[in-house]
């Protein structure tokens, strides 16, 4: 993996939001939206030196090289978005540790991550979001503002779960926000909208108008049908 630092971010007591592409592209939809809406600036990136997969373009292949950016505003550091996740355990661990190192360097006290959560429940309107946290007292504080935890135990794999474990081990508070989805094979824009609204409630920050994501959701409905989301 290659690490490149292009500048030092000018941040003051930032929170961090870190997530990668996952089921329904939820992590990348949310991160890419926040970066566009808040007009964040890049300061560091991570690249894979070799492709982790290839795409068959009906007779010829594309070998994409993964790249994930760190970006910032004056009170927020963001990491991830883009396409894909590290496919090997050692690469995933290296990325998680780098995120923690950057968080410590800039005195981040709280890391948020986001992602999709598979469910059989068909949502009416926006899918529900659930949270989990690195400490019980933090979960109780979140419940006090009306945000629920998932109704059952589960194992959260990939970056959007493992980063919470790294945060906990390193003494940094972490909160995961996961939105319901029925079909992980198509982009889940309404799940992303629900997560963004939950993040706004948790962070007391206005992230942006999500009407463009609703338009994308309607296009997905037309293309795939809207019997499930």
Per-residue pLDDT reduced to its tens digit, 28-74: 999 999 999 999 999 999 998 877 678 888 899 987 778 899 999 99
Q: How far is CA 72 from CA 80, 198, 202, in A?
A: 12, 20, 19
How confident is the prediction for the chain on average, in pLDDT? Answer: 91
The pLDDT assigned to 65 comes to: 77
Between CA 27 and CA 32 the distance in angstroms is 9
Per-residue pLDDT of 126-184, as tens digits, reads: 899 999 999 999 999 999 999 999 888 888 889 999 999 999 999 999 999 999 998 88
Domains in the chain, start-ordered, CATH in brackets?
Answer: 7-44+71-224 (3.40.50.10900)
Please give the torsion angle defined by the CA atoms of residues 160, 113, 153 and 186, in that order, rounded to the nearest 10 degrees. -60
Alpha helices (H) along 7-131:
26-38, 89-105
Q: Distance from CA of residue 83 to its chain's centroid?
A: 12
């Amino acid at each position: 993996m290659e690490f490149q630092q292009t500048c030092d971010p000018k941040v003051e007591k930032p929170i961090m939001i870190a997530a990668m592409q996952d089921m329904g592209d939820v992590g990348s939809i949310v991160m890419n939206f926040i970066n566009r809406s808040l007009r964040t600036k890049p300061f560091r990136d991570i690249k894979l030196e070799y492709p982790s997969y290839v795409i068959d373009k009906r007779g010829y292949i594309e070998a994409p090289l993964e790249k994930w950016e760190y970006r910032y505003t004056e009170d927020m550091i963001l990491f991830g978005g883009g396409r894909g996740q590290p496919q090997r355990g050692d690469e995933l661990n290296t990325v998680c540790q780098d995120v923690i190192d950057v968080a410590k360097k800039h005195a981040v006290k709280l890391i948020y991550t986001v992602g999709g959560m598979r469910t059989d429940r068909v949502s009416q309107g926006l899918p529900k979001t659930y949270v989990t946290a690195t400490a019980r007292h933090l979960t109780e504080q979140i419940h006090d503002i009306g945000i629920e935890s998932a109704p059952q135990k589960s194992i959260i794999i990939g970056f959007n779960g493992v980063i919470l474990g790294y945060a906990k081990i390193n003494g940094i508070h972490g909160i995961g926000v996961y939105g319901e989805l029925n079909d992980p094979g198509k982009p889940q824009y309404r799940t992303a909208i629900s997560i963004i609204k939950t993040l706004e409630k948790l962070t007391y920050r206005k992230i942006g108008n999500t009407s463009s994501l609703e338009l994308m959701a309607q296009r997905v409905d037309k293309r795939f049908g809207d019997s499930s989301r």
